[in-house]
Chain A
Amino acid sequence: MNILDIVGINMRFGGLMALADISFNVVKGEILGLIGPNGAGKSTMFNCISGVLKPTSGDMLFETGNRKIRINGYKPEKMTYLGVARTFQNVRLFSALTVLDNVRIGRHCRTRSNFFGAVLRTRSQKEEEQRIVDESINWLKFVGLDKFAFLTAGGLSYGFQRKLEIARSLATDPSLLLLDEPAAGMNPKETKSLVELIHSISDLGITVILIEHDMKLVMGICKRLVVLDHGVMIAQGGPRAIRENPKVIEAYLGRGAADA
């Protein structure tokens, strides 16, 4: 059962073909690795799926509530509502706000109270606020940041900021989570706990697509990989097959490296 079908996606920026005829499927519940050298179009792919960019042509079919819908050109907030959450390559937190507030904002799309509820402090608004706090603190416990709940997000260490961003995206109740280089800039200890975190996210039944440069990490976590290079998909398959694929070796190490 596929949660996401990418069918012949093209993304053109002026004369530059950032993605050319990309097709792959994401199976429900799996951890899919999306790898490739710098400038391969990985983040562009994420931007297309999460609604930041609208692909020039092709189809993206997302399964939600036992229905497949075509999500091309949906706005990011609509995609979040449908159940696609993401993190960013360069951490994007609400850095002047507290750690708890960051996660509470993640609950935005699953809550309803409005101006009148806020000003009149209706009972349903109060109950909702309590629920938001409870759920947020649970997600903070899940990533291990609950003891920092009342600190400003900008003051956290880089590794913790990454984790907070993951907690915030989890707070939107996603069925598909897009992680854009979550291990970038982390030390080995932080990376190790991140791997555990990704496994426990997967255990919750959330499908994960992972962009990562740390090959050891990707090969360890993902059962299946998709490799992009210069906007073209050059391979997909299991970690072992990818590691031995001459095209992949060529993309990373240059022509001739595969023969050596």
Chain B
Amino acid sequence: MNINLKDALKYLLLAAVLIYPLFSFANEYFLHVMVLIMVYMVLAMGLNIVPGFCGLLDLGYVGFYGIGAYTAGLLTIHFGLSFWVIVPLAALNGAIWGILLGAPTLRLTGDYFAIVTFGFSELVVLFLTNEIWLTRGPLGLPGIDPVIIDFSWFSTLINPEWDWYWEFIGPQPYFYLGLFMVALVYVIMGRMEDSRLGRAWFAIREDSIAASSCGINLLTYKVIGFAISAAIGAVAGAFLARWTMFLSPDMFKFWESFLILCMVVLGGLGNFKGSLVGAAILIALGEVLRIILPALNLPTETRFLAYGLIMVLMMRFRPMGFFPSIATQSQKNPILIKLKKELGSS
């Protein structure tokens, strides 16, 4: 009964969030923040693969976010490609760079790998700033089209008067698109976690020598994890490009990587569901501080102190994050549920 009530409350809350943007009293700023949270939810889930599942510290995740965003931005401006074509291309580009960076450097362990990823993200920012012929450098990349759903080629075939063409204006459509993106990544993460692939990652995190003696090729599986993580980051970047319609290199500075890593740690390393909460808390906190800090006559950069303080408090009181990953409770696979019943009855 207790659980039912909890579930009911959960679904009620979800339904409330779902229909909220449709009401006339929905605040545009509030919706904007929610979309931002969703972007970071995707980033945090994607990053969780590397430090959470494989146990490798990644300090350069924002590099892939930037690669995805600029891939989407440039493809939109120069080739006018549709958002639905761009997302897979951006993911592919992210994954390619993930493999290019990961294949030689994932042989390194621990701190060395963290330093390499950090250097990579700085390189991405330097490239975006200095290759002016391609990215317009510090001037940024304005004039990216919003997301468009265009079925006019199809509808005019049926009836010349039908024009199935929608341009995304205002935060509402992005809210639902973002929600769709979060749900998609969430499902993919869940399915990867509960598979041969996910188990191989966990084995590497727990004990790499034992993992290789189980027949797991360490380098291959680390590179796969890194590439998938990069691809998810690039998808979030592509969404960002078509949502903000403007990109500049300083949107992908190092502290973004740190922020995403904080979300992952806050939610619980290795538990991608916790990352959702981590993203929501830290973005909401950032917005609150944006209002509070000027009122106190402090510069807005002071908010990094707050993030640091949160990390210190987390390390002291909840070192495993708010939702630590517990192997024994996260199994909803029907095969395992069946097995549990069989073992219980015998």
* Interface check A67, CB cutoff 8 A: no
Hey, what's the 0/1 contact readout for B330-346 against A, CB within 8 Å counting as 1? Answer: 01010110011001000
Residues of A within 8 A of B287 (CB): none
Tell me the smallest distance from the CB of A82 to a CB of chain B, in Å.
10
Kindly specify which of B153-161, B191-199, B295-303 makes contact with the partner chain. B191-199
A119–B195 Cα distance when bound, in Å, is 9
Tell me the smallest distance from the CB of B336 to a CB of chain A, in Å.
7
Whether A80 lies near B196 (C-beta < 8 A) is: no
Q: Within the complex, which residue of A50, A97, A118 is in contact with B213, where a contact is CB–CB below 8 Å? A: A50
* Interface check A147, CB cutoff 8 A: yes
Q: A118-B196, A121-B191 are in contact. Are A94 and B213 (CB under 8 A)?
A: no
Whether B327 lies near A129 (C-beta < 8 A) is: no
Whether A98 lies near B196 (C-beta < 8 A) is: no
Interface size on A, residues (CB 8 A): 49
Whether A118 lies near B198 (C-beta < 8 A) is: yes
A98–B210 Cα distance when bound, in Å, is 15
A101–B333 Cα distance when bound, in Å, is 13
Hey, what's the 0/1 contact readout for B204-233 against A, CB within 8 Å counting as 1? Answer: 001101111111111000001000100000
A104–B212 Cα distance when bound, in Å, is 14
* Interface check A42, CB cutoff 8 A: no
Residues of B within 8 A of A162 (CB): none
Q: Within the complex, which residue of B214, B333, B335 is in contact with A168, where a contact is CB–CB below 8 Å? A: B214
Whether A118 lies near B202 (C-beta < 8 A) is: no
Whether B343 lies near A147 (C-beta < 8 A) is: yes
Q: A129-B335, A150-B340, A172-B215 are in contact. Are A113 and B196 (CB under 8 A)?
A: yes
* Interface check A64, CB cutoff 8 A: no
Whether B328 lies near A93 (C-beta < 8 A) is: no
Candidate in B195, B217, B327 with the most chain A CB atoms within 10 angstroms: B327
Q: A93-B210, A101-B202 are in contact. Are A109 and B215 (CB under 8 A)?
A: yes
* Interface check B203, CB cutoff 8 A: yes
Hey, what's the 0/1 contact readout for A132-151 against B, CB within 8 Å counting as 1? Answer: 11000100000000110111
7 A/B residue pairs, CB under 8 Å, sorted by A: A77-B217, A80-B213, A98-B331, A101-B199, A113-B195, A114-B197, A117-B195
* B residues with CB within 8 A of A: 188, 191-192, 195-200, 202-203, 206-207, 209-218, 224, 228, 325, 327-328, 331, 333, 335-336, 339-340, 343
12 A-B pairs besides A106-B214, A108-B216, A130-B335 with CB distance below 8 A are A52-B209, A75-B212, A80-B212, A80-B215, A97-B203, A101-B327, A105-B200, A108-B215, A110-B215, A113-B195, A113-B196, A150-B328
Nearest 6 A/B pairs, CB to CB: A109-B215, A118-B195, A94-B206, A80-B215, A92-B210, A76-B212
* A residues with CB within 8 A of B: 50, 52, 75-77, 80-81, 85-86, 88, 92-98, 100-101, 104-106, 108-111, 113-115, 117-119, 121, 125, 128-130, 132-133, 137, 146-147, 149-152, 168-169, 172
